[in-house]
Amino acid sequence: MKSLVVYYSLTGKTKLVAQVIAEALNATLVEIQETKPRRLGPLVYVVGSFAALMNKGSKINPVNVNLKEYDRIFIGSPTWASRPAPAVNSFIYQTNFEGRSVIPFFTMGGEDATKAVANITAKIEKSGGKVAGSFAIASYKASDEEIIARAKEAIKKYSS
């Protein structure tokens, strides 16, 4: 089964999880990048959360990938205001998921990504995709090793 992992990551946690998935499933790994990278600081929370809350997109570099080449597509995002990050919204808004099997995943500072999963599921389905699973990894105060271990555990059921 050919898998694609597309992700956005501001502070590296989602990137780490995406890398674990790509390695475990021998998947193609593609990063979504904003044309103007965000500067870390207190403002990033306010500005980012507001945009996420409003389901806004942000300007991203072109993501050159043909979804039809893959049997399933993992889409990774940090949880922002209980929603996907704007860069991930942009990728979804500009992509046709007709007939595609999609597995969204989140990293989160909290413990619950139910709302974020419901939100991204609605967006993927609106674009014709079928959500075939999801998972979320808690990253708060977690070492890279802990995140990697959690990601390996979460991905087990998708290994075949």
Ligand X SMILES: Cc1cc2nc3c(=O)[nH]c(=O)nc-3n(C[C@H](O)[C@H](O)[C@H](O)COP(=O)(O)O)c2cc1C
**Residues that bind ligand X in the complex, under the rule CB under 6 A:** 9-15, 44-45, 48-49, 78-82, 107-110, 139
Q: Which is nearer to ligand X, 48 or 129 (CB)?
A: 48
Question: Considering the complex, what minimum distance in angstroms separates the CB of residue 118 from ligand X?
Answer: 13
CA separation for the pair 123, 102 (Å, rounded): 11
CA separation for the pair 27, 31 (Å, rounded): 13
Question: Considering the complex, what minimum distance in angstroms separates the CB of residue 125 from ligand X?
Answer: 22
**Phi and psi at residue 7, to the nearest 5°:** -150, 160
Give the SS3 label for residue 125: helix
Q: Which is nearer to ligand X, 66 or 141 (CB)?
A: 141
Question: Considering the complex, what minimum distance in angstroms separates the CB of residue 74 from ligand X?
Answer: 14
Question: Do the Cβ atoms of 41 and 72 come closer than 8 Å?
Answer: no
Cα separation values, 23 from 40, 72, 88, 156, Å: 28, 15, 21, 12
Would you give the DSSP letter of residue 40? P
Q: Which is nearer to ligand X, 95 or 107 (CB)?
A: 107
Question: Considering the complex, what minimum distance in angstroms separates the CB of residue 59 from ligand X?
Answer: 17
Q: Which is nearer to ligand X, 50 or 128 (CB)?
A: 50
